[in-house]
Amino acid sequence: MPPISDRTRLIASATRRGQGRRPANPPVERAPPMLSDDPAKMQDATDGPVYGLDGTSAARELRALLAQLEGAAEAFLVPSGLAAVTVPLTALLRPGDAVLTTDAVYGPTRRFLTRHMAARGITARFHPAAASTDAILKALTPDTRLLLIEAPGSLTFDMADVPALAAAVSNAGGLGVLGAAACSPERLRSWIRETRALTDKPFGVDTLLPASVRRGKAPETGAAPADPMAVFGEYQQFARDFMAREGLDEVDPIAAMRAAAGAESEGGPPLFSKEFFEAQMEVVIEEKVPVYAA
């Protein structure tokens, strides 16, 4: 049997022969409570999830396929970008630890750090948004357990040297992750190779999941439009008001994000389009990054 192509691997489990009659896709299960024949095994995860939030068959199949595509031992799914930040923060930080991040960090992330995590004995420190790589590394203290990199910074769009910071974290024994949601495919490839040149330790890449741009518009359910760029205009006035209130020079958010992504100078598909995310995923697979998160 010829090897499975990466382009058809996602449907390989359904098309593999010898499994009897079955649906082409995993069935959708709406079942938070899970039943068991033996009450003594109700909490035994070897028989499958003990509660629906642990993931039903469709989620488990997606996790297994993503891990297979990436050559990973395991993949984890979370419901939002904020959760993608707060889940690892909760998993990695303990009372007495500190986290360092930019003063321009995403507002909900800042609230999570200064309220939820602070109440649990974890200190959040913020470096100036325009700090240099050396200044950021010098701000690390012995109790710093995690460096949270956000580039471009929310609203201010300050850029950090992400490969250098990620490599420094990995070289120090941590796991440096390249936050690359707005990176053009070519810049993403460049970042991955720059990071590899600076460290021989594992590192990761974090982008948006491509499926997020394939949803159809469903106004009655409040679902997102097919083109996320269509809603950017709704937030531009908020950004202008914020910049004026803080005495900051006004910027064009879309132009700044495209410049940060390298979209203007490097060409390629439009930012946050279906083609943009598919091209990013091609780079992630071709470059065989050690850890991928979305």
The residues spanned by each domain of the chain are: 80-293
Distances (CA, A) of 255 to 96, 184, 259, 270: 40, 13, 6, 12
Q: Residue 114 gets which letter from DSSP?
A: I
In whole numbers, what is the pLDDT of the chain averaged over residues?
Answer: 81
Q: Is the peptide bond before 88 cis (omega within 30 degrees of 0)?
A: no
pLDDT tens figures, 171-191? 988 889 998 888 889 999 999
Residue 49 zone, left/alpha/beta (φ > 0; ψ -120 to 50; rest) = beta
What's the pLDDT band for 241 if we cut at 50, 70, 90? confident
Look-up of token digits 């992330």: 109
Contacts with 288 (C-beta within 8 Å, 6 or more apart), sequence order: 71
131 vs 77, residue with greater confidence? 131
Whether 215 has a pLDDT exceeding 50, the answer reads: no
- H or E, element range at 170: helix 162-171
Q: Which fold has domain 80-293?
A: Aspartate Aminotransferase; domain 2 (3.40.640)
Whether 227 has a pLDDT exceeding 70, the answer reads: no
Q: Which of 136, 61, 134, 79 is nearest to 105 (CA)?
A: 136
pLDDT of the residue at 169: 92
85 vs 248, residue with greater confidence? 85
144 vs 153, residue with greater confidence? 144
pTM reported for the whole predicted model? 0.64
